Structure 1
Amino acid sequence: MYIYNVTINVEEQVHQEWLTWMQEEHIPEMLATRKFTNAKIIKVLVEEEMGGMTYSVQYFTKDKETLEKYYLEDAEALRSKATRKFPNKFVAFRTELQIVSEH
C-alpha cells in the first residue's frame, strides 16, 4: 500500500473556502480517477513561521504503478484546478510513502 501525501500550507484568508473545496470537489475528483481507494485530511498542529494553516492530505493507493499512472494521466489537470482556484494562496509539498507494516 502506498500513500501519496500532499502537505499544504494555505493562507488563513482563504482557509475555510479551500477546506470546503477540498472536501466537496477536489478529493471527490481524485477518488473518481479510481487510482486511490480513500483519502484523509489531517491538520498539522505546528505553527509555521510563514503563517497560514497546514494540512497533510493523504491519498491511499494499492501500488507504485497505480500512482505512476495517476501522475501520467491526471496529476497535471487536477493540480492546475487548485492553482487557478487559489492563485498564490498556498504552497504544496508532495511525498510518496510506503506502508511497511500495520499493528
Structure 2
Amino acid sequence: MILYNVTIIIEDSIHQKWLTWMQNIHIAQVMETGCFASNRMLKVLDSPNEGITYCIQYIADSMEKYDEYKENYSSALQADFPAEFANKFVSFRTLMEFIDAR
C-alpha cells in the first residue's frame, strides 16, 4: 500500500474558506478518480511555521494506482485551486510505502 501525503501551510486569513473547500470539494474530487482507497485529513498541532498546517493523506492499494493518479489527474486537480487561495499557501508532497500495516 502507498500513502500519498500532501502537507499544506495555509495563511490564517483564508484558512476557514480553504478548509471548507477542501472538505466539501477537493478531497471528494481526488477520491472520485478511483485511484485511492481511503483518505484522512490531519491538522499539525506543533508546526513551527506561520499559518496553519494540514496533512491530507490518500491511501492507494498499489503503486500502479498512484501512478494512474499522477499521470491522469494530479495536474488538473492541483491547478483547480480557487484563485482566491493563490500565493496564500505552500505545499509539498511525500510518497511513502507501508512496511508493516496492522
TM above 0.5: yes
Which residue number in structure 2 is paired with residue 60 of structure 1? 59
Secondary structure of the 1:70 match is: helix
Gaps of 5+ in 1: none
| Cα displacement string for residues 18-71 of structure 1 (whole angstroms, at most 9, x for unaligned residues) | 11100000000000000011110001112334x100011000111111111111
Secondary structure of the 1:95 match is: strand
Query: Greater shift after overlay, 82-91 or 67-76?
Result: 82-91
Secondary structure of the 2:86 match is: coil
Give the superposition deviation at 1:83. 5.9
- TM-score, length-normalised on structure 1? 0.93
Query: Which whole-Å CA distance do the structure 1 matches of 2:70 and 2:56 have between them?
Result: 16
Map 1:1-103 → 2, pairs under 5 A: 1-49=1-49, 51-82=50-81, 84-103=83-102
Secondary structure of the 1:16 match is: helix
Query: Greater shift after overlay, 63-72 or 27-36?
Result: 63-72
Query: Which whole-Å CA distance do the structure 1 matches of 2:84 and 2:68 have between them?
Result: 25
Query: Which whole-Å CA distance do the structure 1 matches of 2:86 and 2:72 have between them?
Result: 23
- TM-score, length-normalised on structure 2? 0.94
Query: Which whole-Å CA distance do the structure 1 matches of 2:82 and 2:23 have between them?
Result: 16
Q: CA RMSD in A?
A: 1.2
Counterpart AA for 2:8: I
Runs of 4+, deviation exceeding 2 Å:
none
Counterpart AA for 1:59: Y
What is the identity percentage for the equivalent residue pairs of Structure 1 and Structure 2?
Answer: 38
How many corresponding residue pairs? 102
Secondary structure of the 1:82 match is: coil
Secondary structure of the 2:64 match is: helix
Gaps of 5+ in 2: none
